[in-house]
Amino acid sequence: MAAAGVAMLAAFAVGAFSGGSDEAPILSARGFVAEPEHVYDHVAVTPSPAPSPSPTPPPVEPPLGEGQFQIVIPEIGVDAPVNAYGLDFQQVPEVPLNGQEVAWYNWSSAPGTGSNAVFAGHVTWSGAAVFYDLERLQRGEEIVLRGADGTQLRYTVEENFLVDPHDPSALSVMGPTEDDVITVITCGGTFFYTGDATFGGDYTNRRVVRARFTEATPVPTAAGS
CB 96 within 8 A of CB 85: yes
pLDDT digits (tens, 9 = 90+) for 25-84: 333 333 333 333 333 344 454 566 667 676 766 777 899 998 999 999 999 999 999 999
CB 55 within 8 A of CB 62: no
- pLDDT at site 196: 87
CB 155 within 8 A of CB 213: yes
- pLDDT at site 154: 98
Count of beta carbons in the 10 Å neighbourhood of residue 14: 15
Closest CA to 121 of 167, 188, 172: 188
CB 217 within 8 A of CB 154: yes
Third-level CATH fold of 3-16+62-217: Sortase; Chain: A; (2.40.260)
CB 17 within 8 A of CB 176: yes
CB neighbour class for 109 (10 Å; exposed up to 12, middle 13-18, buried from 19): buried
Asked whether residue 118 carries a pLDDT value surpassing 90, the answer given is yes
Domain spans of the chain?
A: 3-16+62-217
Q: Which of the four pLDDT bands, split at 50, 70 and 90, describes residue 172?
A: very high
- pLDDT at site 91: 86
Asked whether residue 116 carries a pLDDT value surpassing 60, the answer given is yes
Q: How many residues does the chain have?
A: 225
Please state which of the ranges 13-27, 117-131, 135-149, 185-199 shows the lowest mean pLDDT. Answer: 13-27
Count of beta carbons in the 10 Å neighbourhood of residue 139: 11
Average pLDDT, the chain: 81
CB 117 within 8 A of CB 54: no
184-193 mean pLDDT: 95
Asked whether residue 220 carries a pLDDT value surpassing 90, the answer given is no
CB 35 within 8 A of CB 28: no
Ramachandran sector of residue 31 (left: φ over 0; alpha: ψ -120 to 50; beta: rest): left
Asked whether residue 200 carries a pLDDT value surpassing 70, the answer given is yes
- pLDDT at site 61: 87
CA distance 19 to 186: 26
For CA atoms 200, 201, 203, 208, the dihedral sign is positive
Tell me the pTM.
0.76
CA distance 117 to 107: 9
